[in-house]
Every structure is written in structure tokens, then in C-alpha cells.
Structure 1
Amino acid sequence: MPVEPSDTHLAGPRDDEPADARRFVEETPKDTGHGRSPYERDRARVLHSAAFRRLAAKTQVHVAGTDDFLRTRLTHSLEVAQIAREMGARLGCDPDVVDTAGLAHDLGHPPFGHNGEEALDRLAAGCGGFEGNAQTLRVLTRLEAKVLGPDGVPAGLNLTRASLDAVSKYPWPRRSGQRKFGVYADDRPVFDWLRAGVPDGGVRRCLEAQVMDWSDDVAYSVHDVEDGIHGGYVSLRPLLDDPDERAALCVDVAAVYSGESPADLNEVLVDLLDEPVLARLAAYDGSHRAQVALKATTSVLTGRFVAGVVAATRERFGPGPHRRYAADLVVPRRIRAQCALLKGIAWRYVMRRPDARARYDRQREILTDLVSVLADRAPDALDPVFAPLWRAAGTDVARLRVVVDQVASLTDPAAVAWHDRLVRPGR
């Protein structure tokens, strides 16, 4: 239930509350006898949010719902949160802050994964573009229904400063020539509040955000390969047998995921494929024994990527505890290269497979049609959550942003259903 405006007011300094635990809209304390920390409350708010539930039907790499084994944005987010919580705890971060960041980091992703994100970025050019991380901040601080400010303006989940900062993977506005950014122009007030006091010119990421980001890399590099092998899209045999195929993969990875040269990546790849835990997957047949071997491989790789980073960070900054801006995460060069190569395997053999092009084109067509028809039929065609926001928008730019918010909120099946209803009625 939303907090009534009379129960909230703009947050100001309080003697009994550290700055990291403050909320943009101050709330009347509740459940004081339960002893929950502000960060435990943040985690619960994300878990119980509608945006989090919708991740169950949003594409990770494979289309959501096509195979019960494969991951969705929801299962991916749960795995990122688990990895982040464990890694953060080893370093001395508040475990609930990094857990919250892992759970929340993909709330802003639209239907159809990164393909949908790229499509909406083009469609939203007139209102500053679209970026999943900037949209996540918008969901957390504006769109999700939980708290209202004293003026009745939605404040989203109204998470603490520390948790919002931990979700800020790219803590800067859009820059020329740079695809990734973390805040839209009209969300700057809450962004400036959560980033107040950040050292080193205000663009440094807190340790918790770095832990979440590396946990995200680990999760999708390892798990996307696991899903690809199980689904029959990825076979390691060509990489084991063919030097030219290894070289081609390394060229792809150098172009998309790594600053390493293809030659240096090839050296790391040869060593990686030579490890028994990976080599034995070349004969994967989907049997129970094969699935055990596959799961053992993901466990070994995940453990290596976490332990190696924790050890390197402690070596540079001491045993800790470390949190916020007391340290930076140290990722050894070889571990980063191994992770990039696994990402490249998923990209080359799953996301770029020949039969994917027609599906990607259709997905972009659906989102293009939806933005167009909703812009024409708003506010009547919008959900009750978004229609008042459209009416309150004072410019065409602001109204376009509301339409994009509506489309971005949809799950994959909902986007198709809305398209059938609004664009292709009666067909």
C-alpha cells in the first residue's frame, strides 16, 4: 500500500540517522520492535514490488517461457543477488545493500532483452533516449507504487541512499558517444541527492555497486553458457578442435567485451578450454550425469571469479571491512579475460545464431508499433498508473517519456498481447 502524503515529508538531516540510511522522502518509523535495518526494508521492498515480479516474463538471453530450464530476468536477478551478497559479505559490505542492488539492477529492462533496449533507445530519441540502468533508477524512485511525497508525487520504493547508490552501475547522465548512462534529465533531483558527497568528482562508483556489477558479469557469463549448452545452442567441440574458430571468437570478444588483443585472449582461451571442467562438456548429451557435470562447471567458474576478486581486493586494500567508498573492487586481468570469453561464447553462438535475426526484427517492430499507437491514443490506452502521469506532463517530450515508461514496463508476452489488441485487432 502506498504511504499517504500526510505520513511523509522531504527528508532532511536527522541526528539519529546516518546519511547512508536516509530516504529522499522521509517516512514515519514503523515496526520498531522488529529490529529490521533500513537496508533489510529496502530488500523487502524490491522483493515485493510489481516490477520485480514482472522480471519472470522478461527475456534474459533466451525468450522467456520457451524452456523451463533457461533463465529469465527474474532468476538471473536472484542469482546476481546471491553472488553479490556472498562477495560483499566477504569484503565487509552490508549484505542487504548488495543483495538489494543485485535484486534491483535489472528492474528497468524492457521487453525482449537488450534488443528491446536498443529499439526503445531509438524510439525515445526525442526525450533523451532509453537505457536500462537509467530506467531502473526511474522505476525505483518514481514509477513503482509504494510511497508518495507530501505533494502527492510518486517517490517509487523510496529506498535508502546507500541502496540506490549501490544500484547505480553508471552514475552519470548521457554523454556524447557513450551508450551507457544511469539517469535521465528529469530524474536529476533524486540522482543528485543520492550522489551527494561522492568523492573524486562525483563519478566514482561505490564498492557495493562494483560488487553488484561484477556479480552481474559473473552470473550472465557463466549461466548464459550453461543455458546455451543445455539448450543445444552452444557446443565447445569446435573451439576445442579448430584454431580458426578460437581465433574468430577472440576477435569478437576483443571487439565487444574486452580491451585485450585477440592474441592475448586466445592464450587465455586455450588455457580455459584445457581445464577438465570445461573440456568434459564437449560431449554434453542432456543426461542426468551430463547435467551434474554442467552444474559442477558453473560452480567452479563462479567460485573462481568471486574468490579471485575478493583475494585481489583484500591484497590491495587490506582485510577490511570495506564498504561504500573505502575501497575499489580489484578484478585480476586473467579473471576478467576469462569472464569476457564466456560472454563472447554466448554472444557468438546464441545471440548471433542465424535463426535469431527474424525474431529480433519482429520484436523491434512490435515495440515501434506500440510506441506509435500509444502516443496517438494516450492517455486512454495507457494503464491507470501511467495515464495520470501523461495528463500531468507539460510537454510533448515529457509525454513521450511516459509512453516509453509504459512500453518498458511490459513483459514479453504482454508486449505481444498489447500489440495484437491495439495494432492488429481482429486478426
Structure 2
Amino acid sequence: MHDLRAHRRSTDHTADLAASPFRADRDRVASSPFFARLGGVTQVVSPTGSGLLLHNRLTHSLKVAQVARAIAERLTASSDTAGVLDKLGGCDPDVVEAASLAHDLGHPPFGHLGEEVLDRIARNRFGLADGFEGNAQSFRIVTTTDVRGPAAVGLDLTVAVRAALLKYPWTRLSHPSPHPRTLRIPPRGASEPPEAAGSGSAKFSAYVTELDDFEQSRAPFHGRIEDWQQTVEASVMDTADDIAYAIHDVEDFHRVGVLQHATVAAELTTWLTDALDLAALSKAELAGQSRLPGRSLEAMRRRLHEKDSWAVDDDAFAAAVRRVRTELVDGLLAVPFDGSAEAEQRVAGFSGRWTTRLVDGVDVLLDPTPRSGHVLLAPAQWHEVAVLKFVHRRFVLLRPDLALHQRGQARLLTNLVEALDQWLSDRHEADRLPRRLHDLVELADTEYRSLARTAPELLAGPAGDVRTGPDAVRALARGRAVVDFVASLTDGQAASMLDALSGRTGQLWTDAFVL
């Protein structure tokens, strides 16, 4: 099993500093320019021009790797879980760390907002049935578009690390068969988004252009886990991602004064005081009172029952709200952050206590529900993460001032894609295209011509329409290339490039033009 898990395409490892193939994978990811660019990519608020010391995708990835390795080491050291891990395919801390460092490589400028914009453009403007998805883009980078591997095609990572990157181990529409979105209880992320019926799964981890790599990565795990289930190592990475997100985003917005003690306290305390009365409200009554304290938390409790009835427990939920109120409201938020050593110690103490508590709550199940991976949090910690993420969503993500900036960022990305597509269409400018964009067009053209010849059904959209003529295939390739190119920019590069293409800047040489 170990030899299969360590398999690569190439046998040339002369440039690797580490003898262990999995440690070499970690080094390859860490030295990739796609990894370095994450320092300029939004986690929640863009690091470009904000003047705020906030997490970006790079620091987030480093924390996920730190937490994931701690979980893997804890699980592999326990005699209670060692046998189960071996039966499921293994849990190597180096594999987990490498996958965690790589898991956000495909995040485009402006984070999740950019992901939504590029997906909409890819499907509606370019006719790409796969659209765009950050996880699938990460897999495309490590298998195809990065050139730091021995064969200059991807990073040539081991199958274990590639499999550990597959948080949602299916394509949007076709693989595996039966597709997980058709299951009676679809795995988390496999269902179609309500606002885009017929478009395929909302979340997925591979495009059809990387199907060979996808199937090769999953092959060693056939018969050990379900076709639609994460590997144990992917499940560790996914759990660590949730833990890091739940803690560090709360830290960030306490630091900058966005999380206000009074409003968070009112929400949690009102729910705890009036839980029975709130539970008795009709759906219409609850919606009509949505601006009153406690109502948003009650709505979230009901959503948990709808989506994850297998896990949610009202007593555990109430206990989680009490613990978050004690630790966050009565603890961290009770004193505004003022940059002092004492304030920094309070933040560090909060982060350390919660990280330790959540990591200690991780366990392994041999036969989990389809809505969970094999690695999951204990009930108490699962509910606590849900409440922490609620605080972040309710008091940060739904703020009108954040929405104002995000609408501008969405317009920026849309205009940038349109400008680059027009440039590609100008035959007089063919020799002056950015070399990277030109290379991506040629790569995608080769991929789509091959699919049109050998598996045209993979190019079909949800309606079953197949476009395999030379002009149609070339158009698909151009669309994928533009999306690949824009997704590889930092927030600042995207803004600078649009300024240049729009004639709004006279500056010639900037990092946006090292192309």
C-alpha cells in the first residue's frame, strides 16, 4: 500500500532535498509560486491596501497545515485508532501537511467571492460545463498548470497527497458513477446549488481535464473507502480547515474592532434566555423578527437540523452557545484590543485554548454518515465550531460595508475577464499576448481537442449539448485559459492589470506585468 501511495508519474527526484516522497511533496508545494501568491489573496478582507494585519490565504494555509499535522500525529499515536486508519488507507502526517499547504492554491483573487464570479463567467460566458471551483483549481495546479515538477507538468506529487487534496472527490457532473449528487443522502457539497438547478454539484475537486489524475489518485483506495468518500488524510485536512477558519477569523475581527462585545453578547445571551420561546416561533414569525437579537442564532439552529440531523443535538448546541459566550464574549471581547502585550496574550490564549480543545475532540469512524468524513469532531466540539462560524458569518460576512467592497471586486473581475478575452480575440495582437496566457491557451487547446476526440460526452453541459467542432473546442480552450490566468493573480495584480487594460494608469512596469 505504501508503494502505491507514493507513486508519481516521473522517476526523476534529483532536485528534491528530502528522501521521503511525502516530505518532498511538501517541499514542492512550499516552493511553488502559486503558494507564494497566496500572501496577496483574500481570506475574508483583501490584504491589498487594507492596512490591516489580517490572515490571508497563505497564513491560513500555514495554520491549517499546523493543525492538520497535530491531528494526524495524535491519531496515528493512539492505539485505539491505528488499526482503523490502516484499514482505511493510512494517515501519514507528511501527506496531511503537504495537502494542507496545497489545499487553497486554486483560490482566485478576492477569495470565495472571486470563486463565485469566475464560476458564473466560466459557465455562462465561455460555456464550460465544469465552470470554476477553487478546490478543482488547486488540483489542476498541482497536476497540470504548475511547471515546477520534473516533467514541467504540475508538481508530480504522490498519489497519496493528490488524493488528500480531493476534499470533494467527484467532478461536477459525471464522475464517479453513480454521481454522489444522486444519492439519497448526498455528501456535503455534492448537491446542486438551489440558484443554479441543473448545473451539477455545488462543490467538487476535479475538472474533467484532470480525470486521469483523479482516477489514478483514488485507485489505491478502491475497496477501502466509498468512491465518493474522502480519504482519511483528506478528512484530516478538511477538519483542520474548519478549525483554523473558526478560530483565526474571529481573532482577526476582534483585533480590528469589528466584533463588538455588545452585539455578540446580545445575540448569544438572548438566545440562551429565550430559547424555548424562540423555538416556538413559526418560520414566518422568525423571518419577520430577523433583526432582533437571538433570532439569527435560532435560524442557524434550525438549519443545522435540516442539513445535519445526524449530528445536531439541542442540548449540545445550547452547551456550545454557553461555552462560546463564556470564552468569547465574557473573555476575549470583554476588553477591546489595543495592541498591547496584554491584549496580544489574551488573543494567543484564546487561540491556543480553542485549538487544543478542538484538536483533542477529533476521532475516527469506520462507517460514518455520507454527510461526514471518516475523521470528525466529537459532538461538543462539532457544535462549538458551528457557533463560532455563526458569529463570524453574522457579525462580519453580512456587514454592508464588506458587501460594498465585494460588489466592486466582483465588477473588477468581470471586467478583467472581458478585457483579456477581447485581447485574445484580436488577431493583430496575437504575438504580444502575455506569454503565460498564450501557454495556457495552447495547453487547454490540447486538452479539449483530446477530450473532443476520445470522450466528447465529458464536454457536455447539463442539458446534454456537446460542442466538438474545431471552433467550439478552441473557444472552450480560450475560456479555460482566461479563467486559469485570472485565477493565478493576486488581488493587487488583478486590480493593476485592469487599470492598465482600461487605460487608467501610466505606470508601465509593475508586478502585474511580470507575465
Q: Which TM bucket (shorter chain)? A: 0.7 to 0.9
- Do the aligned residues in 1 keep the contact of 2:259 with 2:333 (CA within 8 Å)? no
Q: What amino acid sits opposite 2:361 in the alignment?
A: G
- Judged with a 3 Å threshold, the aligned counterparts in structure 2 of structure 1 residues 266 and 194 are, in CA distance, closer, same or farther, namely closer
> Any gaps of 5 or more consecutive residues in structure 2?
77-90, 174-190, 193-200, 271-291, 367-372, 425-429, 450-472, 507-515
Matched, 1:138 2:176: no
Residue 422 of structure 1 is matched in structure 2 by 501
1:226 maps to 251
> Aligned partner of 2:47: which letter?
A
TM-score (norm 1): 0.85
Structure 2 counterpart of 1:411: 490
Given that residues 143 and 155 in structure 1 are in contact (C-alpha distance below 8 angstroms), is that contact kept between their aligned partners in structure 2? yes
Could you tell me whether the CA contact under 8 Å between 1:76 and 1:219 is conserved in 2? yes
2:44 match: 61
Q: Which deviations, in whole Å up to 9, do the C-alpha atoms of 1:313-352 show, x marking residues without a partner? A: 3xx66xxxxxxxxx92132222112111111211111121
CA distance in 2, matches of 1:390, 1:87: 41
- 1:220-263 alpha-carbon deviations (Å, 9 max, x no partner): 11100110111111124323235152331342475489636796
Normalising by the residue count of structure 2, what TM-score does the alignment of the two structures yield? 0.71
What amino acid is the match of 1:217? D
Q: Secondary structure at the match of 1:355?
A: helix
Cα gap change, 1:347 to 1:241, in 2 (>3 Å): closer
Is 1:397 aligned with 2:450? no
Does the residue aligned with 1:107 lie in a helix, a strand or coil? Answer: coil
Tell me the CA shift for residue 27 of structure 1.
2.2
Instruction: Note the 1:206-285 alignment, pairs <5 A.
Output: 206-242=231-267, 243=270, 244-252=292-300, 255=303, 259=308, 267-276=318-327, 278-285=329-336
Distance 1:382 1:276, change over 3 A: same
Higher alpha-carbon Rg: 2
Q: Is 1:386 equivalent to 2:420 in the alignment?
A: no
In 2: Cα distance, 1:292 partner to 1:42 partner: 35
2:206 equivalent to 1:183: yes
Percent of aligned pairs sharing the same letter: 36
Please list, as runs of the form range in 1=range in 2, the aligned pairs for 1:295-334 lying within 5 A after superposition: 295-309=348-362, 312-313=363-364, 328-334=374-380
Q: Is the 8 A contact 1:278 1:297 kept in 2?
A: no
Post-superposition shift, 1:91?
1.4
Q: Does residue 86 of the first structure (1) align with residue 137 of the second (2)?
A: no
Structure 1 residues 17-36: Cα deviation after superposition (integer angstroms, max 9, x where no partner): 8011111x22234279x762
Aligned partner letter, 1:85: R
Report the equivalent of 2:29: 46
* Residue equivalent to 1:196: 219
Inter-CA distance 88–301: structure 2 relative to 1 (3 Å threshold)? same
Aligned to 2:384: 338
> What CA distance in whole angstroms lies between the structure 2 residues aligned with 1:263 and 1:424?
57
Q: In the alignment, residue 364 of structure 1 is paired with which amino acid?
A: A
Q: CA deviation at 1:40?
A: 0.9
Mean CA deviation greater in 59-68 or 74-83: 59-68
Please provide the CA RMSD for this pair: 2.6
Distance in 2, matches of 1:360 and 1:339, equals 25
SS at 1:168 equivalent: coil
Query: Which secondary structure state, in structure 2, belongs to the residue aligned with residue 330 of structure 1?
Result: strand
Structure 1 residue identity aligned to 2:353: V
**Structure 1 residues 381 and 208 mapped into 2: Cα distance closer, same or farther (>3 Å)?**
farther
**Aligned-partner Cα distance in 2 for 1:51–1:356:** 26
Distance 1:339 1:67, change over 3 A: farther
Please state how far the C-alpha of 1:304 moved relative to its aligned partner: 0.7
Shift of 1:366: 1.0
1:357 aligns with 2:403: yes
**Helix, strand or coil: the match of 1:186?**
helix
Gaps of 5+ in 1: 1-15, 318-326
**Is the Cα–Cα contact under 8 Å of residues 147 and 155 in structure 1 kept in the other structure?**
yes
2:7 equivalent among 22, 46, 53 = 22
Count of residue correspondences: 393
334-343 vs 135-144, which moves further? 334-343
Pairing partner for 2:105 from 101, 104, 107:
107
Kept in 2: contact 1:240–1:273 (CA 8 A): no
Could you tell me which residue of structure 1 aligns to residue 58 of structure 2?
74
